Structure 1
Amino acid sequence: MPTVGVTNWEGGRSAAEHLAGLGHSALAVIGGHRHHRYSKARIDGFRSVVPDASIRIGFADWRRADAHRQALGILRGPGRPTAVFACSDLMALGVYDAAKDLGLRIPDDLSVIGFDDVPEAGWATPTLTTVRQPLTEMGSAAMRLLLANRGGRPPVGSVVRFELATSLVVRSSTAARG
């Protein structure tokens, strides 16, 4: 089956590189569904930059309320992380909710990165640093695949997969660890 996707692993890696470059070493990740390949790829890319021992991981099934609950548990625990990478912008907003509940200031007390670059990322206060998924380009590529394969199927054994590049969009939700 032809598919269109993004470089999820590279996106997770770029988030970790950004946080490590800012001096963060106590990190957390909130993934989507534990068994989704793209959630795993984002987490694995993140892990490729920092040792596993320094990462706390929770799963929120792509929901803001679940991310809020996961973040509360992670941020209340001993050895509170100084930065959280959420595998979607919606879940990052759940981290914002938890930070507010705990009296933590973003980015002074906690840096946060999301993934997607949905419009709400630019509307959040502070604006959310995120890994941009080129959604418009993904839709265009999917339409081209659909039109190219109308009336037929790809040859048996062929794999058609378009993987578009992600990019880090740095906004106001991350800061150097001082």
Structure 2
Amino acid sequence: MAAKERVTIARIAAEAGVSAPTVSKVINGRPEVAPETRRRVEGLLHKHGYRRRVGQAEEPAGLVDLVFAEIESPWAMELIRGAEAAAHEAEASVVISVLHTHAGPGRDWLERIAARRTDGVVIVASRLSETVRSQLSARALPFVVVDPEGEPAAGVVSVGATNWSGGLAATRHLVELGHRRIGMISGPPDMLCSQARIDGYRAALETAGIASDPTLVRRGTFLVDSGRTHGTALLTMEDPPTAIFAGSDLQAFGVLDAARRLGLRVPEDLSVVGFDDLPLAHSAWPPLTTVRQPLGDMAAHAVRTVLTMRRGENPDARRVELATDLVVRDSTAPPRGEG
């Protein structure tokens, strides 16, 4: 069998009907290329699976791009701290971009990072199309996805947390306190972390011989308003839960507010568990029992991984899940009449 012909800039240029320097400008994110020409060249780069060869003599830029779908959340600050710490260790800097969409990076963003010759890209909670993955690879830009929304494509390096184990530990804690009617509020159904936390919740109930009641499971966003709305709905049921496991600390704060508005005391009348262990969790009232998600460590691991890939080394694993831990504080107690 003949060896596969290596795809070169010259070959792409000939097929596109442009000069080799024009193809090089597209690969490197240079602006002086007509939009139609750029689209044609990018299509051929994608079609042929072009990969830019990075010379060993090429010096690192000392930059890592950290890309968020949105940044208005406490999670973002924890991720930024972790990324900054890992970059500082490597004598690199972090450039932060916000897409304001979960659809993933677009052409303009790709051209900007290619132009500044970043060493690698860490993408937080976004979906990556096959086209964008190919464009990143064609530009020899190593990338890692942190907490991907959906199942990562084959070969994509990702970093997450043990969400299933966290959901199991949170629910098991409530069961061991004596709760039998436990509500669950989680995030969107198409997010991997959301479904994994629900699966852990259900596994804990099944292990304890408690039937899972679908009316006690609610899906929303991971924000305060969602916790308040769904918490109110659960607590005003004819047979309300005595405990609620919220899929994020922000949701848990919303549940605490819903309980106060309904005249319920936490933990005397209702136990609440969150997920994340944000800095605000220990200063909530009462201090929140929660599952610690190592957000900073996740971002730091992702930064170290892209810098490893930048040196031409393969990552130790394509999918890494860092351990979660249950942190017990004052928002959980046995249900009334027990303990």
Q: If the length of structure 1 is used for normalisation, what is the TM-score?
A: 0.93
The offset of 1:62, in angstroms, is 1.2
Distance, in Å, in 1 between the alignment partners of 2:245 and 2:215 is: 10
Q: For residues 1-178 of structure 1, what are the structure 2 equivalents within 5 Å?
A: 1-50=156-205, 51-53=211-213, 56-150=216-310, 160-177=318-335, 178=338
Contact residue 308 and residue 314 of structure 2 kept, 8 A:
no
Shift in Å at residue 59 of structure 1? 1.4
Q: How far apart are residue 49 of structure 1 and its match?
A: 1.3
Which one-letter code corresponds to 1:37 in the other structure?
L
| Structure with greater contact order relative to length (CA < 8 Å, sep ≥ 6) | 1
**CA–CA distance in structure 2, aligned partners of residues 136 and 73 of structure 1:** 33
Q: Identical aligned pairs, as a percentage?
A: 46
What SS does structure 2 have at the residue aligned with 1:58? strand
Can you list the C-alpha shifts for 1:128-161, whole angstroms capped at 9, x where unaligned? 0000011221122111111011266959xx9611
Secondary structure of the residue that 2:172 maps to in structure 1?
Answer: helix
1:6 Cα shift? 0.6
Inter-CA distance 89–107: structure 2 relative to 1 (3 Å threshold): same
Does structure 1 retain, via aligned residues, the 8 Å contact 2:181–2:243? yes
SS at match of 1:49: helix
Gaps of 5+ in 2: 1-155, 206-210
CA shift digits 1:104-139 (9 cap, x unpaired): 000000000000000110110000000001122112
CA distance change for structure 1 residues 54 and 36 in 2, over 3 Å: closer, same or farther?
A: closer
Quick check: 1:133–1:166 contact (8 Å CA) kept in 2? yes
Q: Which amino acid aligns with 2:273?
A: I
Which piece of structure 1 moves more, 128-137 or 144-153? 144-153
Residue 53 of structure 1: how far off its partner (Å): 2.6
Letter in 1 for 2:279: P
Show structure 1 runs of 4+ deviating over 3 A. Answer: 151-155
Distance (whole Å) between structure 2 residues aligned to residue 152 and residue 30 of structure 1: 43
Question: Is contact 1:25–1:54 with CA below 8 Å preserved after alignment?
Answer: no
- The DSSP-based 3-state class of the residue aligned with 2:201 is helix
Q: CA contact under 8 A between 2:185 and 2:227: conserved in structure 1?
A: yes
AA partner of residue 18 (structure 1): H
8 A contact 1:26–1:55 mirrored in 2:
no
Q: Mean Cα displacement is larger for which, 136-145 or 52-61?
A: 52-61
Deviates more, 1:162-171 or 1:137-146: 137-146
Structure 2 distance, partners of 1:25, 1:54, is 14
Instruction: Name the larger-Rg structure.
Output: 2
Contact kept? 1:26, 1:54, Cα under 8 Å: no
- Normalised by the length of structure 2, the TM-score is 0.50
